[in-house]
Amino acid sequence: SGMQLMASIAATDIVAAGTAQVMVQNPGDGTSGTWEFSVTGAPTLAIKSTHSGNFTQGQAGATYILTVSNVGTGSTLGTVTVTDVLPAGLTATAISGTGWGCTQPSGPCTRSDVLVGGASYPYITLTVSVSATAPSLLTNQVNVSGAGSNPASGSDATTIVSSASSPPAPLSSNPAAGSGNATFAFTFSDPRG
């Protein structure tokens, strides 16, 4: 129209963050002024699952930490969804994270606040129980999708040890603290009895 010109812009033209200049040329009438606009780039979500140490057959309260980050240059827009696919031998008992809305006990977890490029959301804690017959190696699979990013996944290989092969675990110290020539009594629990 006389007041508006619409044009399609190829995704390859705005893949990198920076500024772009636009001008209009009408054959025979010259060109318009040049306008600059910012290109923020696209969000690129990534997810990882981590845990500490080995899990033990029959263990309750084992935890995975799920972290979603935006490794792209643009900010997210819309809902981010995290799903976790536990292998046979692990059963979810609870899932939560600051700012996340999670369906109990195993998710999915969602949130819609903006995540700028280079930043991460607060982590999600997934608590699981380990079957008494779980195999010696399991892999936790996590996925993230939405918010203008391509879906992404991550995995976390977890070693499962039998309770009979676990080392003794500390239970208490008496006194709990001290200095000088204090005598301490340490109590341990041995899974082999």
| Statement: residue 122 has pLDDT above 70 | yes
pLDDT at 193 over 60: no
25 versus 17: which is more confidently predicted?
A: 25
Instruction: Reply yes or no on whether the pLDDT at 174 is more than 60.
Output: yes
Looking at residues 64-78, what average pLDDT do you find?
94
- The structure's pTM equals 0.70
| Residue 16 pLDDT class (50, 70, 90 cuts) | low
Pairing of strands 109-111, 101-102: antiparallel
Determine the Cα–Cα distance for residues 99 and 65; give it in Å rounded to an integer: 15
Helix (H, G, I), strand (E, B) or coil at 54: coil
